[in-house]
Each structure stands twice: as structure tokens, then as C-alpha cells.
Amino acid sequence: MTGLLTRFRVDLLLLLVAAAWGSTYLAAKELVSPSAVAALLALRMLIAAALMAAIVAARRSRVTAPELRVGAILGVLLAAVFAFETFGIAHTSATNAGLIISLTIVFTPVLDSLVSGRRLPARFFLAAVVAVIGVALLAGNGVLRPPNLGDLLVLVAAIARAVHVTSMHRLSADRPMDSLHLTTVQLATCAAVFSATSVLHGDSVPRFVSRLDPARGLLFFYLVVVCTVFAFLVQTWAVRRTSPSRVSLLLGTEPIWAAIIGIGIAHDRLALAGYCGIALVLVGTAWGRSVEQSHRLAVPHPAGMKLVPAGEARTYD
């Protein structure tokens, strides 16, 4: 009975994280404008990095030189993910952003196979085609037209996230690294990048803060504490108490939550073709994740190489 309750608690918290990540797009949509992207990200990363650093300090652990070096490299890549994603959210709907970014699940195994020389089964590429067709239907919403700027930027963010995830596994595979330290360094790097950018482009951080009324301030607090710090800590805690496949399955429900929140709360309007697109994206990404996991478990990997299911890649947003 105790084991069952523990598993239920772990599953529930992981579902809460997936729902929080699914709500990120609407929260960011409500807070951001094209001129405020750098300032929003600078403030978000500064607060998140400070909270993570406080947790590291409370543990009385020290960040090693390799963690600092690798974290800084990955932090620059993560900054690119945040930049493309947030600029994209400013120009598209929360529903589109949440579903298009889920293509990371497809892009990551493809990129890893190109780097490692490990061939993926044909079924995976069929699943990828299904997901891409779904994105095309969703972006056009029943009209044969190219995706708008926001959709393209989020698509680039999905590719950048696949690069980030693949690089993270490659750079940290042959040396022991504390995931809490690595995340803290990455967030601090993002904070430095966006703080510098906010001085040169768009609104400054003080100007952005001055525009936060109580409701928007509460929403920003939710974005930082729940969608960033809480989500990372829960995932780190949960992955030690359940199987990687179960973590991947539960966190992989993120695009479902994004669609529910975008349509149900933001009232994003979709034609029948748009709903068909949502269905194809969800089917394609879920099928692709399943095929990739089965193939990864069946094929031996080089010694020391640790591969994580694509559904577990999103630990920072």
C-alpha cells in the first residue's frame, strides 16, 4: 500500500509539472510583447537562478570547474531556446506554441542519430511525418498557407532545444555532474545573456517591472517559481523514484495540457482542420516517442553514453 501511494504521489506531481509547462505558453503570452522579450527573460532568469543558487548554497555543495564550463556552454544554447520560443509566443497563439514546441520529441532522436551514427527505424520517420502534417494543418487552420512568423520562431526553438538536449548528453556523459549545479549555471548564464541584451534591445528590466500590475506580477511569479524552479526540482526528485520511461510518459502529456489551456482558457479559435492538426501532432509525437524508446532500449550504446528519452528533455522551461 505504501509503495502504491508513493507511486501515485510521484505520478501526480509529474502530471502537475506537465500541466505547469503546458500553461507556460499562455502565461508568457499574457506577459510578453516583442519589445519586452529580453527584459522578461532577464528578470525571469535572474530570479530563477538566484533561487537555484540558494538551494545549492543550502546543500553546502560546490560547483566544480567542469560543471561551470559545461553549464556555461549549455546556458548559451538554452538562451537561444528561450529567445526563439518567447519571441515566437509573442507572434502566435498559446495553442500553436505549445504544440509546435512538442516537435522537439521528434527532432532530438533524429539529431542524436546523426551525431552517433545510430539509425532509427522507418516507423519513427513515419511518425515524424504525421506530426509535421499536424503542425501544417494547425498553422494553416484549414487554409493552405505558410506558417506565420511566430510559428516559424517556435519551430526554430524546437530545433534549438533538440540541439541543447543532445549537447547536454554529449558534454556530460563521460564525467559525473550534479544536475542541480548544471541547471543553476545554465540559468545564471541565461540571466547574464538576457540582462545584457535588455540593455541593447527593447524595454529595460526596470521599465518592464514598472508595467507589472498585481495580476501580471502574480502571473510572472507563477512563471518563475512554478514553471521553472518547482518543475525542475520535482523532476529531479521524481526521476529517482520511478522509471525513466514513466517520467517520459507523464511529462510527454505537456502538449495536451497546452492545447486544453490554450483552447479552454485563452479561447484560441480553431477550425476543424486545426483540431485535426492537434490530433495528428499528439499522435505523431506520442508514436515517435514510443518507437524511439523501444529502439533505444533494444540497441546497445557506446560505453559511458547515457541517453535520456526525449520526453524528459524539458527541465528548465
pLDDT along the chain (317 residues), means of 10: 73 91 93 94 96 93 92 96 95 90 88 84 91 83 74 94 88 80 94 96 93 94 92 79 72 87 88 88 87 74 46 48
Q: In the prediction, which pLDDT does 301 show?
A: 52
* Domain annotation covers residue 139: yes
Instruction: List Cβ neighbours of 43 (8 Å cut-off, separation of 6 or more).
Output: 205, 208, 209, 220
Alpha carbons 42 and 38: distance in angstroms, whole number:
6
User: Global pTM?
Assistant: 0.85
Quickly count: other Cβ atoms within 10 Å of residue 6's Cβ. Answer: 12
Q: Are 57 and 238 in contact (CB under 8 A)?
A: no
* Domain annotation covers residue 3: no
> Maximum CA pair distance of the chain?
58
Q: Are 257 and 19 in contact (CB under 8 A)?
A: yes
Q: Indicate the Cα dihedral angle 40, 45, 47, 48, nearest 10°.
A: 130
* Domain annotation covers residue 196: yes
DSSP state of 289: H
* Domain annotation covers residue 290: yes
* Domain annotation covers residue 2: no
Q: Containing domain of residue 231, as a range?
A: 8-312
Domain total for the chain? Answer: 1
Q: Are 110 and 295 in contact (CB under 8 A)?
A: no
Q: Are 316 and 183 in contact (CB under 8 A)?
A: yes
* Domain annotation covers residue 182: yes
Q: In the prediction, which pLDDT does 311 show?
A: 44
Counting every residue written for the chain, the total comes to: 317
Alpha carbons 179 and 184: distance in angstroms, whole number:
9
Q: In the prediction, which pLDDT does 305 show?
A: 46
* Domain annotation covers residue 317: no
Q: Indicate the Cα dihedral angle 296, 299, 303, 308, nearest 10°.
A: 0
Q: Are 118 and 307 in contact (CB under 8 A)?
A: no
